[in-house]
Amino acid sequence: RRGATTDGDGDGDDRNGLARARREEMEANENASDSEQREAAAAARETAQEKRVRLAKAYLERLREEQAAEDTDEDDGEEEGKNLDSHTRLAARLMEDAQRKSGHQRASIADRTTATRAPARLWRGHKRAGTGVAL
């Protein structure tokens, strides 16, 4: 049937390509292993908010691992003070990353630049500028 917009069940999903996507997903699931099927199903059901949360948790975990690597280099101190210090440093790192991405970070560059000794020039404007012209 040419021009048919439904698959016979009245929901009109052929028009949107949903039936085709379902068939492809079913075929892919038949070929995948059980664990891969569960992971694919979980990823397909994941909402945008859940994805943001998952990515944020992964980002925080990566930062914690980097912090742990830095902490092994430092002297071992009091555990509670060390924990508070790591939270403070983690918060500072997150703030710095957010500022850098948004373009609001101010970098101190005065120590890295050199001033030139160019002679000062004075530019003066008109004392009594013309406000109109008659022809």
The pLDDT assigned to 17 comes to 64
| Euclidean distance between CA atoms 106 and 100, whole angstroms | 9
Which structure tokens are listed for 120? 């000062």
Residue type, 134: A
Which pLDDT belongs to residue 75?
54
Name residue 94's amino acid: L
How far apart, in whole angstroms, are the C-alpha atoms of residue 103 and residue 61?
A: 25
State how far the Cα of 56 lies from the Cα of 48, in Å rounded to an integer.
12
Q: Are 90 and 64 in contact (CB under 8 A)?
A: yes
pLDDT at 84: 60
Give pLDDT, residue 129.
76
pLDDT digits (tens), the chain, 135 positions: 454 455 555 555 455 566 777 777 777 666 656 667 777 777 778 788 888 999 989 988 888 888 778 777 665 555 555 666 777 888 888 888 888 888 777 767 777 878 788 877 777 777 777 778 887
